[in-house]
Amino acid sequence: MSDADRQEPSKTMTPPRCRLLELPTELRLHIYDFAFPYQTIYVQAAAAVHVWRKNEAWIRAFDRPPSFCGGLLRASKLIYREASPILYERTTFNIDLKPMSHEDMPGRKWCDIQDLIFSPHVQKVYLHLQHSVRSYYNPRMLLEPRPKDDWGQVIRAVLMALFYCASASYVHLELDTIRYIDNQHPLSHFEALQCSGEVSLRMKGCADENDRFGGVSGVFLRDPTQFFMQSRGALGLNRRRYDPFLQDFINRLGAKVQSCDWHN
């Protein structure tokens, strides 16, 4: 074999030109502006994780995944460094937390909960937990211990996949429950949250006729150490008591108790 023949394979292995990288940086940034519009990715997490986009019908959501333009980020390290801040600054992840046994899942399956992972560059996270109660339950028993439904396993997996929101700019926690979660205070499941950005919290679902519940409005905003959640036993539905979990959440993260003001 001649020297020319030995050199021929090396010519065929020459990487193709990337014309995007040949453009000035300013033009590439304009391209990223068009490639990554403002969007909300809706995620429902249980034993499986499903995703869909706003206004996308459930029946159509199975046909295609949300548009992240992820292929562009994988083109080169330079493009990833330039484009990923734009993508994640414009993308809100609205995550609906469900128990492991939950089966009514909209959207397209993304992965199993144990395989879930997000980029550490995620900036906006909206966490929602709704633990509904059927009307035939005795109100005095709403916060009594009940069998575990493995909410905690899902919450831990999501927080770990988000790197505990350590680098996020905005995190909102929406808790809609009048029960303990896996026999624990709802906020105890979010003790690992480490966000150094803006954190807000709203707790609802256990308001009296004046909408006075710890985490929403009224007397709570005047005294954040008190809230209305039923104590165990026969102490009554709206008995006020000191809540160390709530106070620790506020103090540790500088959390504001309010409705979310950056995401609808």
Q: Residues of the chain with pLDDT > 90: what percent?
A: 33
Which of 64-68, 201-205, 209-213, 216-220 tops mean pLDDT?
A: 201-205
The predicted pLDDT at position 5 comes to 55
pTM exceeding 0.85? no
Helices (H) and strands (E) in the chain — how many of each?
9, 10
Biggest CA-to-CA distance, the chain:
94
The whole-angstrom separation of Cα 236 and Cα 148 is 24
The predicted pLDDT at position 180 comes to 78
Of the two residues 84 and 237, the one the predictor is more confident about is 84
Q: Which residues contact 21 (CB under 8 A, 6 or more apart)?
A: 28, 76, 78, 79
**pLDDT level of residue 68 (50, 70, 90 thresholds):** low
Mean pLDDT of 63-79: 71
Of the two residues 69 and 127, the one the predictor is more confident about is 127
The yes-or-no verdict on residue 121 having pLDDT over 70 is yes
The predicted pLDDT at position 10 comes to 53
The yes-or-no verdict on residue 97 having pLDDT over 80 is yes
Cβ–Cβ < 8 Å for 105, 46: yes
Give the mean pLDDT of the chain: 75
Please write the tens of the pLDDT for every residue from 142-169: 444 444 568 999 999 999 999 999 999 9
| Sequence ranges of the domains in the chain | 20-257
The whole-angstrom separation of Cα 137 and Cα 131 is 14
The whole-angstrom separation of Cα 214 and Cα 163 is 28
Please write the tens of the pLDDT for every residue from 25-42: 999 999 999 888 888 989
Q: Residues of the chain with pLDDT > 70: what percent?
A: 66
**pLDDT level of residue 231 (50, 70, 90 thresholds):** very low
The whole-angstrom separation of Cα 76 and Cα 18 is 9
- Nearest of 224, 257, 259 to residue 243 by alpha carbon: 224
Q: What angle do CA 243, 244, 245 make, to 5 degrees?
A: 95
